[in-house]
Amino acid sequence: MSEKPKSLKDLPITIISRPMTGSAGETGFWRTFRPVVDRSKCTNCLLCWIFCPEGCIERGEGDVPTVNYTYCKGCGVCANECPVRAITMEREG
Amino acid sequence: MSQLIIDTGNHIAGYACKAAKADVIAAYPITPQSSVVEQIADFVEKGKMDAKYIRVESEHSAMAACIGAAAAGARTFTATSAHGLALMHEMLHWASAARLPIVMAVVNRAMGPGWNIWADFSDSLSQRDTGWIQFYCADNQEIFDTIIQAYRLCEDKRVRMPTMVCHEGLILSHTSMPVEIPDQKDIDEFLPPYDPPWILDVDKPVTHGSLIYPEWYMEFRYFMDEAMKNAKKLIPEIDKEYGRKFGREYRGYIERYRCDDADLVLLSMGTIGSEAKIAVDRLRRHGFKVGAARVRVFRPFPKEEIQNLAEGARMLTVIDRHISYGMEGPLFIEVKASLYGKEDGPLMTGLIAGLGGRDVTYLDIEKIAQKSLKHLEAGKVTKEVEWVGLRR
C-alpha cells in the first residue's frame, strides 16, 4: 500500500502491494555484510544490476553500478554473480 | 434446449465445469476423482470447451496453478480426493486468503493408511478451517446444480471465497443417474462472466500474498469471516433463484424430509441422507414420527437452521461419516455447538458410521432410529457416541 491505511474501509479485499520504494522500511539496517565494488576490476557488465533481487543496484553514468545502501540487505547475490570478482562482501560495523 | 443424459457423478461434475465455462483447469488424477478431469480433458481436446487444461505434477501444483490463473482473472476449476486434497492443504489457505473464487469438486475418499479408495468425509472435513465453502451432494443432479450455484456464490463481490463441492467416492462418482443439463443460454444468464476486483497484469503490476505485519493481519482474517457470513445469507437466495430458473432447488442448507411433526430427526450429510429417507418411510409406516434432515453445507455452518430444526424435535440423532479422533463426529460437534445454551433442547446422540466406504443401508439407519426411539421413550441417552456396526 502506498499510503498507510487508517481504518478497515481503506483496506483492499486481500493483501495487495503495488510497486513502490521501501514499503517495509529502510531495510539496509538488516545487513551483516556490505557489497563493495572495486572500480578497478569492474567491467560494467551490469550482471549485478540484473541479478540483485531487491533492485538495489543503480545503473549510473557509463553503466557504472552503485549500491543503494539504504535498502540493500546484503544478501551477496551480486558478489556471487560478478564474473571478475569485483564485488567483495565486507562485514559491517 | 435442456438435455437429459445418464452419466456418472464424476462425468456430471465435468459437464458442470463445461457449462460454467471455466477458463482454466489444472488437475492431477487420483482415484476416485480421475474421471472428473478425464471428462474435462476430453471436452477440451475435442474443442467442445474453450479452456486451458494444465497438466501438473501434483495436487499442490494443481491448486497453485488455479491460484495463479484466478489471480489473472480466469474462472478456474479443479478436482481431487483424499491424499490429493491433503497435499493441497497449504495452497487451500493461499486461495482463500487471496480471496480467489476457485471451484473444486472433491470426490470424498478415506485417508490412509490403510490404503482405502472408498467413501469417507475425512478428507474434506479435515480442511474445515481453510476458509473454503463446503457443499455436500446426495445425487448426480445435485452435483451439477451445486457446481453452477457455487460459481455464482463464490464470485459474488460480497463473498469471493473458494468453494468445494463434495460428493462421495464410488457411491456417486462411479454411479450413473439421469441428469438434466439446462440450456447453455439459461446457464449463461444465471452465471455471468467473472468480474475480478484486481488482477495480475504486467502493465499494472501488483503482488498478492505479500508480507503483512501483526498490526493489520487480523483485519484480513476478519474480512474472510465476514465473507463467510455473507455467503451464509446468499446461499438460500441463489438456490431460490436457481429454482425459479431451472425448476430445482435444494431449500438452502438443510433438506428436510418428513420433519414437520417428527419427534426424532436423523441428521446426516451426503448419500446417507438419501438412504435415511427410505428408513423414514418404513418407520412412518409403523407409526413412528421420524424425519430425516440432510445438511448440504458444512461451511458456513447453518447454525440458525439447526436451531430451527431442533425446536420441533424431541431428539436429534446425528450420523457422521468421519471421526475427529479424541472428540466426536464433526457434524455432531457442530450441531451440539449450535444448540448451546438452548433450554429444553432435544436429546442428542452421535453415530460414527460408514468409514472407509462401509455401506450404510436404510436397514442400518432403521436400526439406529429404533435405538434412538428407545432412548426417547426412556427420556435419556445411555451412550452419547456409538460406532455403528463395529466388529467386537
pLDDT band for A1, please (50, 70, 90 cuts): very low
Per the CB < 8 Å rule, is A19 touching B205? yes
CB contact at 8 A, B227 and B158 = yes
Nearest to B316 by CA among B306, B302, B326, B328: B306
Residue A35 has pLDDT above 90, yes or no: yes
Which of B156, B216, B221, B228 would you mutate first to test chain A, the one with the most A CBs within 10 A? B216
Q: How far apart are CA B388 and CA B352, in angstroms?
A: 6
CB contact at 8 A, B289 and B261 = yes
Report the residue of chain A nearest B95, measured CA to CA.
A14
- A7 touches B at CB < 8 Å: no
Give the class (CATH, top level) of A26-91.
alpha beta
pLDDT band for A29, please (50, 70, 90 cuts): very high
Report the residue of chain A nearest B213, measured CA to CA.
A24
Per the CB < 8 Å rule, is B206 touching A8? no
Joined grid coordinates for residue B46: 475435442
Strands B176-181 and B3-8: antiparallel
Per the CB < 8 Å rule, is B223 touching A18? no
Instruction: Supply the CATH classification number for the domain B3-246.
Output: 3.40.50.970
**pLDDT in single tens digits along all 392 residues of chain B:** 899 999 999 999 999 999 999 999 999 999 999 999 999 999 999 999 999 999 999 999 999 999 999 999 999 999 999 999 999 999 999 999 999 999 999 999 999 999 999 999 999 999 999 999 999 999 999 999 999 999 999 999 999 999 999 999 999 999 999 999 999 999 999 999 999 988 999 999 988 888 888 999 999 999 999 999 999 999 999 999 999 999 999 988 999 999 999 999 999 999 999 999 999 999 999 999 999 999 999 999 999 999 999 999 999 999 999 999 999 999 999 999 999 998 889 999 999 999 999 999 999 999 999 999 999 999 999 999 999 999 99
Strand partners, B350: B318, B385
Joined grid coordinates for residue B21: 465455462
Residue A2 has pLDDT above 60, yes or no: no
Joined grid coordinates for residue A60: 549510473
Residue A83 has pLDDT above 60, yes or no: yes
Question: For chain B, which residues lie within 8 Å of any Cβ of chain A, measuring from their own Cβ?
Answer: 97-99, 160, 197-198, 205-212, 216, 219-220, 222-223
Q: Number of C-alpha atoms within 13 angstroms, CB side, residue B315?
A: 25
Q: Is B255-387 in the same CATH topology as B3-246?
A: yes
Residue A3 has pLDDT above 70, yes or no: no
Strands B76-80 and B264-268: unpaired
- Predicted local distance difference test score (pLDDT) of residue A18: 84
Which chain B residues are closer than 8 Å to A8 by Cβ? 219, 222
Distance from B206 to chain A by nearest Cα, in Å? 5
Spell out the domain ranges in chain B.
3-246, 255-387
Per DSSP, the three-state class of A66 is: strand
Which of A14, A18, A23, A73 would you mutate first to test chain B, the one with the most B CBs within 10 A? A14
Strand partners, A36: A88
- Predicted local distance difference test score (pLDDT) of residue B1: 87
Nearest beta carbon to residue B208 from set A11, A15, A19: A15
Count of beta carbons in the 10 Å neighbourhood of residue B14: 27
The torsion defined by the Cα of B68, B70, B72 and B74, in degrees rounded to 10, comes to: 130
The CA-atom distances, in angstroms, between B280 and each of B7, B40, B146, B286, B349 are 28, 38, 25, 10, 17
CB contact at 8 A, B270 and B137 = yes
Specify the pTM. Answer: 0.92
Q: How far apart are CA B330 and CA B350, in angstroms?
A: 10
- A15 touches B at CB < 8 Å: yes
Stated as kind and residue range, the H or E segment containing B290 is strand B290-295
Spell out the domain ranges in chain A.
26-91
Nearest beta carbon to residue A17 from set B160, B207, B222: B207
End-to-end alpha carbon distance in chain A: 33
Per the CB < 8 Å rule, is A11 touching B207? no
Q: How far apart are CA B164 and CA B132, in angstroms?
A: 7
Q: How far apart are CA B11 and CA B174, in angstroms?
A: 9
Nearest beta carbon to residue B211 from set A11, A19, A24: A24
Q: How far apart are CA B175 and CA B144, in angstroms?
A: 14
Which chain A residues are closer than 8 Å to B206 by Cβ? 16-18
Per the CB < 8 Å rule, is B160 touching A24? no
Q: Kindly give, in sequence order, each residue whose CB lies less than 8 Å from that of residue B374, ignoring residues fewer than 6 positions away.
A: none
Q: How far apart are CA B197 and CA B203, in angstroms?
A: 16
Per the CB < 8 Å rule, is B99 touching A8? no
Nearest beta carbon to residue B220 from set A15, A18, A19: A15
Strand partners, B267: B293, B318
Count of beta carbons in the 10 Å neighbourhood of residue B166: 27
Q: Kindly give, in sequence order, each residue whose CB lies less than 8 Å from that of residue B281, ignoring residues fewer than 6 positions away.
A: B258
ipTM, interface predicted TM-score of the complex = 0.77
The torsion defined by the Cα of A16, A19, A25 and A31, in degrees rounded to 10, comes to: 110
Domain B255-387 adopts which CATH fold? Rossmann fold (3.40.50)
Q: How far apart are CA B227 and CA B325, in angstroms?
A: 30
Stated as kind and residue range, the H or E segment containing B41 is helix B34-45
Which of A2, A7, A11, A16 would you mutate first to test chain B, the one with the most B CBs within 10 A? A16
Q: How far apart are CA A62 and CA B288, in angstroms?
A: 93
Strand partners, B6: B178
CB contacts < 8 A (A, B): 42
* Residue, of A47 and A10, whose pLDDT is higher: A47
Joined grid coordinates for residue B116: 482405502
Residue A23 has pLDDT above 80, yes or no: no
Nearest beta carbon to residue B206 from set A5, A11, A16: A16
- Predicted local distance difference test score (pLDDT) of residue B210: 86
Per the CB < 8 Å rule, is B219 touching A19? no
